[in-house]
Amino acid sequence: MYSKNLVICDPEEGYAQALAMYVMQRRELAVEVQVCKTISRLLELCRLTEIHLLFISDEFGQEERRQVQAEKKFLLGSRGGSSRQEDEIWLYKYQSGERIVEEFIRGCGLGDSEEGIFCKSGGRKNERVIGIFSPVHRIGKTSYGLRLGEELAVSGNVLYLNLEIYGGAGGHFEEGEQTLSDVLYYARQEKGNLGLLLTTVVRHRKKLDYVLPMAVAEDMKNIRSKEWIELIHRILEQSIYDVLILDIDEGLPEVYELLRACTEIHMPWLRGYYPEAKLRQFEREASLLGYEDVLQKIVRKEQYDQGRTAAREDPGRTGSVERSGRRGAD
């Protein structure tokens, strides 16, 4: 696969090595990284190969930096950007590796012309869209979805999206500026690479990537299923993710169409009279509306205690919920 080269030139060799290691561990970046600590070595590399991307320390003078040819230059500095030249993009050196990569990607641009730095899914056919859905409340649905994502992310690229009307920032998710609203806004522009945009927005739980939920419930209520489905397809086509986990709220418009777009549906449930009544109503409604195919995708996951998941497939048949009176009160 074609990739661009990235050279990090900094007299603080330990810093350059650590930054190179961090960049190479970012699965979504298709860059080959080299490190050097002197301008003479950098100029030697220029003679041997074309440098696509360059991180260079501001400890080197402007005249020295001007000798180096690269498609795009980033100036690593700690004293402000006063010495930056016109062809250089300022990067604060002593921020987190994640922030450096975010600013690097934004500096490259999010358009299709920059796809060379980005690994895409490449049309894999093992993609999974796992819906987490239940008409039964307060059973740890979100906790289950996050744990499932963490387990699957050990061996694959997994993205969790919370599609609840009240996602609960400050609960399962920290508060932050960039949320699912930003992803949808960018997708609506129908230009540029959505996969690259995601690399600047996602947060991390162990190896699981996720996007902060929307902050305004009314925004969630106004998004039609068609838009969610189009977003899902674009993420699978333009990003590294081969598994999407959608934590789906029953109150979303046209929720059955969104469930239909899932390859499988995990339904947390409890034993007892009241939860069964809700499941029975859901099954009848889905059948009445012509969504038998949705029922056939359901895999029930029994919850033994509130907020704690058995994560055990129900011994009954997979598909429509089993009619029994054994589930606990809501």
Mean pLDDT of the residues in the chain:
84
* Inter-residue contact 216 to 193 (CB < 8 Å): no
Phi-psi region of 85 (alpha: psi -120 to 50; beta: other; left: phi over 0): beta
What pTM value is reported for the model? 0.71
Name the class of domain 4-117: alpha beta
Neighbours of 15 (CB within 10 A): 17
Q: Provide mean pLDDT across the span 291-295.
A: 95
C-alpha 91/C-alpha 86 separation (Å) is 14
pLDDT tens column, 193-222: 788 788 888 999 999 999 999 999 999 999
Q: Assess whether pLDDT exceeds 70 at residue 99.
A: yes
Please state the rounded mean pLDDT for residues 288-307.
86
**How far apart, in whole angstroms, are the C-alpha atoms of residue 162 and residue 168?**
10
Q: pLDDT tens-digit profile of 236-272?
A: 988 889 999 999 999 999 999 999 999 999 999 888 8
Are the C-beta atoms of residues 92 and 73 closer than 8 Å to each other? no
Reported as type and span, the H/E element at residue 32 is strand 31-36
Average pLDDT over residues 66-86: 84
Q: Residue 94: helix, strand or coil by DSSP?
A: coil
pLDDT at residue 188, rounded to an integer? 87
Q: Which of 195, 49, 226, 16 is nearest to 114 (CA)?
A: 195
Residue 309 has pLDDT above 70, yes or no: no
* Whole-number pLDDT of residue 238: 84
Half-sphere exposure for 313 (CA within 13 Å, toward CB): 8
Q: What is the pLDDT of residue 111?
A: 54
Lowest mean pLDDT among 14-18, 222-226, 300-304: 300-304
Extents of the domains making up the chain: 4-117, 128-313
pLDDT on residue 119: 60
Q: Same fold for the domain at 4-117 and the one at 128-313?
A: yes
Distance separating alpha carbons of residues 68 and 74, to the nearest angstrom: 12
DSSP structure class, residue 173? B
CATH architecture of 128-313: 3-Layer(aba) Sandwich (3.40)
DSSP-derived secondary structure for 214-245: PS-HHHHHT--HHHHHHHHHHHHHHSS-SEEE
pLDDT of the residue at 2: 53
CB atoms within 10 A of CB 96: 9
